[in-house]
Amino acid sequence: MIIIDLDTFYTESAKLSAMPTYIKKILKQAGEGNEIILTGKAPVWLYLSVAHALHGKAKKLTYRSPVTGDVVIFDHNPF
């Protein structure tokens, strides 16, 4: 299981213009076929873009929030 804290990818605020850089770093950190947990203070557009980029790369993607707890975005584990 790999935990990716999205607010570590930028300093003051996330920038749309930096999206390719964020995605490249996140894909490298996520690897292939792993269970990924996304967490951290980040704009919803960043979460959505990252989830889209990880689809087909991650076996399972979960959003973790102190308010909601764990929310499974997708799970491609056949078991």
Show the domain range for 54.
Answer: 1-8+33-79
Say if 17 falls within a structural domain: no
Say if 74 falls within a structural domain: yes
Task: State if pTM tops 0.85.
Answer: yes
Say if 65 falls within a structural domain: yes
Helix (H) or strand (E) holding 10: none
Say if 13 falls within a structural domain: no
Say if 45 falls within a structural domain: yes
CB 38, CB 50: distance < 8 Å:
yes
Q: How many structural domains compose the chain? A: 1
How far is residue 22's CA from residue 44's CA, in Å, rounded to a whole number? 14
Say if 44 falls within a structural domain: yes
Average pLDDT over residues 53-77: 94
Say if 70 falls within a structural domain: yes
Say if 75 falls within a structural domain: yes
Q: What percent of the chain stands above pLDDT 70? A: 100
Structure token digits, residue 17: 């213009």
CB 4, CB 22: distance < 8 Å:
no
Q: How high is the pLDDT of residue 78?
A: 73
